[in-house]
Structure 1
């Protein structure tokens, strides 16, 4: 086979037949093109399977639920050198199936994308939130983080070389499959092409499978998880910078700098917040490194691979230090007959120096628990 066209399907009886007919009409224009149409059925309870079979499509049952799972199952079952896919909701311009295949195969590219943004989006076809916020933001992030030149990261109309797809090891089962596919391709320095296409409105009686905020967040989380270096260095810089300034605040006390009163209580509180946020960013990066193929820095690698005995003594030491601070404050308070204390500046700094390592240790507990669980 030269090409396999895959439709992910979950109860699409109202539109599936027309989609198959449009794809076939497009591909039949190429003389000698050997192709097949596969419907990756994700548990339909309507007549989708019967319709697909009656129109000459091959039905591949996929038991694992989700958009990405259905596509992965269909692609793995494909017999073509190239695999093309699009939703079975009659919104994509299926007449562009042949132009997309020709553009991809003639360039010997690993992936071709039918860009909705470069083509004509019919009125009502794409919600305003998706068109002017969701898709542009996600596309820009992928381009920025992974050196892409994409125009439409959320297009569900694509053509892939099957061997390239298998090398990328795409694993997502949900809508974030679309982002993972692009990111893995860019990380592998894959060659890709885009053609202008477009989008038609959803049929009036069809309920979209896409859930805007949930699926948008899934895309965002996957993009971030593939860029752990950003959170690693942001976290480290924030923690080190805030801690050094906190030490300086303890040494100098409040000072007047260029007419500004700095290193007073408010400055210390903000430095504490920066230290806490930086620690959380850093620990998030450590979690991401567990599943990423990217390499962490030396200190991060040491923390991830830290011996559990070392972690025990580190956590015990931090907890002991906290207990001693609490006891010391109580003794001082008792010594003043439980009157008011003037330790605020000192305590804010001490909380900073203890809470940052405490959050680090608690994060490492979770990290090492996940490591043990995954193994």
Structure 2
């Protein structure tokens, strides 16, 4: 029988964590449930223990740090991760988990957006805007059509969990997971779920603008890392256009008077164009390294499966 573990990262979820543990336990009694308490100042750990979960303290603040420890510490055949705020339905557990158990997916996304439940329930308008912005950016960068990039309800194969590096420290983690899976050609399945707003007495830890800025920075860095040729080609093009804008008046002046009066502009244009060439070459080199890295990753996975 396959070992299945439920992972619940928590920070100050005293009001809801016991219900989350109990609801998921009822849906799959044999599943091991881990609550990682991230420096909560309320009774989160006590409530989780009382509900029958295994509680582990994680001192490094931030959801990304918590998940990094979870993935490193816990061994299983299949994993489910859910937030401890009682916004995700335990009843959808097997629908979310089954593609992993069947070997059809390395990551299953609990999609809150395609059925409209997030739009109906969410009371923070800027969060909906942020979700749509991130989804559009990732789909455009990677040529996909995913519906929900930032959901906290996911299932994973062992292969995903033991290879995901978790570089982010905070709530940009979900975006990083999706980009990692796309970049390494892992199988992704989306399963529609119903989202409900937090119950009374439970409060979101997200800062709309601060965490939104972090997510956008994460996308910027992931694009630079996983698509270096495209990233540096755009940077080189912008520099080259600036060089042309500065250099054209110098060329016109030389054609007319056979003398360069705007020497600083000529030097600046030459320097910018030279830098643009170097930036493009950096993109070519980094793209080669990235390609070799992905090839090595695929060989590593094949060797583990033989």
Alignment of 1:134-149 (within 5 A): 134-149=130-145
1:20 — aligned with what? 21
The one of 128, 140, 163 aligned to 2:125: 128
The alpha-carbon deviation at position 109 of structure 1 amounts to 1.1
Q: Specify whether residues 248 and 7 from structure 1 end up closer, same or farther in structure 2 by C-alpha distance, changes over 3 A only.
A: same
Could you tell me which residue of structure 2 aligns to residue 50 of structure 1? Answer: 46
Shift of 1:124: 3.9
Q: How far does residue 157 in structure 1 lie from its aligned partner after superposition?
A: 0.4
Work out which structure has the larger RCO, using CA pairs closer than 8 Å and 6 or more positions apart in sequence. Answer: 2
Q: Which residue of structure 1 aligns with residue 158 of structure 2?
A: 162
CA shift in 2, pair 1:171/1:246, >3 Å: closer
In 2 relative to 1, CA 87–253 (structure 1 residues): closer, same or farther, beyond 3 Å? same
Give the structure 1 partner of residue 63 of structure 2. Answer: 67
Paired residue secondary structure (1:103): helix
Contact 2:232 2:282 in 1 (8 A): yes
Once the two structures are TM-superposed, the CA of residue 126 in structure 1 deviates from its matched residue by: 4.7
User: 1:186 aligns to what?
Assistant: 182
Task: State whether residues 16 and 202 of structure 2, in contact with CA within 8 Å, keep that contact through their aligned partners in structure 1.
Answer: no
Deviations 1:32-80 (A, max 9, x none): xx42000011122322222222222111221111011112222333232
TM score, norm. by length of structure 1? 0.64
Report what 1:153 is aligned to: 149
Partner of 2:258: none
Counterpart mapping for 1:1-375 below 5 A: 2-28=3-29, 34-119=30-115, 120-121=117-118, 123-131=120-128, 133-228=129-224, 229=228, 230-253=230-253, 294=290
Q: 1:170·1:184 contact (CA, 8 Å) conserved in 2?
A: no
User: What is the number of equivalent residue pairs in this alignment?
Assistant: 270
Deviations 1:199-222 (A, max 9, x none): 111223222111111111111111
Normalized against structure 2, the TM-score is what?
Answer: 0.78
SS in 2 for 1:227: helix
Q: Give the greater-gyration-radius structure (CA).
A: 1
Alignment gaps of 5+ in structure 2? 256-261, 292-306
Alpha-carbon distance in structure 1 between the residues aligned to 2:289 and 2:92: 35
CA–CA distance in structure 2, aligned partners of residues 213 and 139 of structure 1: 17
CA deviation profile, 1:80-121 (whole Å, cap 9, x unmatched):
211111110111122211211113322431100110002323
Contact 1:60 1:73 in 2 (8 A): no
Q: Which 5+ residue runs of structure 1 have no aligned equivalent? A: 29-33, 256-264, 296-375
Q: 2:158 & 2:61 partners in 1: Cα distance? A: 22
Pair 254,94 (structure 1): closer, same or farther in 2 beyond 3 Å? farther
